[in-house]
Amino acid sequence: MLLEKRKLGRTNLAVTAIAFGGLPMQRCTIEEAAPVLEAALDAGINFIDTARAYTDSEEKIGRHLSSRRKEYYLGTKSMARDKAQMAKDIDLSLKTMKTDYIDLYQVHNIKNREDLERVMAPGGALEALEQAIAAGKIGFAGVTGHSIEMLIEAVKTEKFSTVQVPFNFIETQAREVLFPLAKRLNVGTIIMKPLGGGQFNNPDVALRFILEHDISTVIPGMDECGYCLPCPAGLDIPTLFIIHLQYTRYNMKTASPLRYQAMPVKASACMACGQCEKRCPYDLPIRERLEQIAADMG
Ligand code: SF4
């Protein structure tokens, strides 16, 4: 399936307009994380973003996706403000995610002027990022945060190739100055919190609102997705997909059928109304897949 791709500012990476936010991966077990990550790549998503601070999110990505490393661009971030700690974190991220190259390494959550000054000062985190770029360990340096004012300051330094910022129906401040500035300086814009931290119950509309803006990519947090719900027949579509993936790809020939049998509504109950497909931001052929699940699992 083809997802729209957009240029991530001066990085020139062509990333899918909808990408993968790794924060909620913390809530999955290691086993549950595998089909969620695999399904994202199978759906055509080609940018995965995470952080050192998201507990074991980096580890899950390394464990489950290192064998498919050529299929996606990888972004992560560190709260380090000084050079020594940032250098250590870059090496740790490389090791944890079982890769020798990270496309985008971001300074995580610049909160105030002091934060930014520490990063930019001699001996600050930026020096480690620049050295890692020169050494071929990372591709580009980015910055993230919630303070629009400080992100504007950071983008103005022209030291960062991307800026990651919250933007959604209710948090629209970024479009006043930050988006036009980023556009002018060719800095890629990565949108976090697109669903307002789970407040919006229509993800399709929320994502379409964001994608109408001149931004590079949006990273909804993905654990069990669920954009396609509710189903009038009561199917828990994401869980059925996960069970089926575990069955077919991970050869869980005993545990998956048991889990499937415990589901109150089986795939065969699908009435093929198509409502879920209208809501799915990835245009998945859900009805077709449910038919396959019903055929494979009864
Ligand atoms: S097509 Fe099937 S799974 Fe999708 S909403 Fe309709 S009944 Fe539910």
Model pLDDT for residues 55-86, shown as the tens digit of each residue:
899 999 999 999 999 999 999 999 999 999 99
Q: Is 150 in the pocket of ligand 1 (CB under 6 A)?
A: no
Average pLDDT of the residues in 99-128: 97
**pLDDT on residue 224:** 46
**pLDDT on residue 203:** 75
Q: Is 272 in the pocket of ligand 1 (CB under 6 A)?
A: yes
> Is it the case that residue 111 has pLDDT exceeding 80?
yes
Q: Is 86 in the pocket of ligand 1 (CB under 6 A)?
A: no
Distance CA 293, CA 283 (A): 18
Average pLDDT of the residues in 76-97: 98
The protein residue with its alpha carbon nearest to ligand 1, atom 8, reads 231
Confidence class of residue 247 from pLDDT cuts 50, 70 and 90? confident
**pLDDT on residue 1:** 42
Q: Is 271 in the pocket of ligand 1 (CB under 6 A)?
A: yes
Q: What's the pLDDT tens digit per position in 8-41?
A: 999 999 999 999 998 878 777 888 788 888 888 9
Q: Is 273 in the pocket of ligand 1 (CB under 6 A)?
A: yes
Distance (Å) from CA 271 to ligand 1 centroid: 6
Instruction: Please say whether the dihedral angle defined by the alpha carbons of residues 122, 126, 130 and 136, taken in this order, is positive or negative.
Output: positive
> Is it the case that residue 194 has pLDDT exceeding 60?
yes
The protein residue with its alpha carbon nearest to ligand 1, atom 3, reads 270
> Is it the case that residue 169 has pLDDT exceeding 60?
yes
Distance (Å) from CA 1 to ligand 1 centroid: 20
Domains of the chain with CATH codes:
5-218 (3.20.20.100), 237-297 (no CATH)
Average pLDDT of the residues in 258-271: 95
Q: What's the pLDDT tens digit per position in 197-231?
A: 666 667 778 888 999 999 999 998 765 467 788 89
Average pLDDT of the residues in 119-133: 98
- Number of C-alpha atoms within 13 angstroms, CB side, residue 225? 29
pTM score of the predicted model: 0.80
Among 237, 240, 265, 279, the mutation site with the greatest number of ligand 1 atoms within 8 A of its Cβ is 237
The owner of tokens 């591709």 is 139
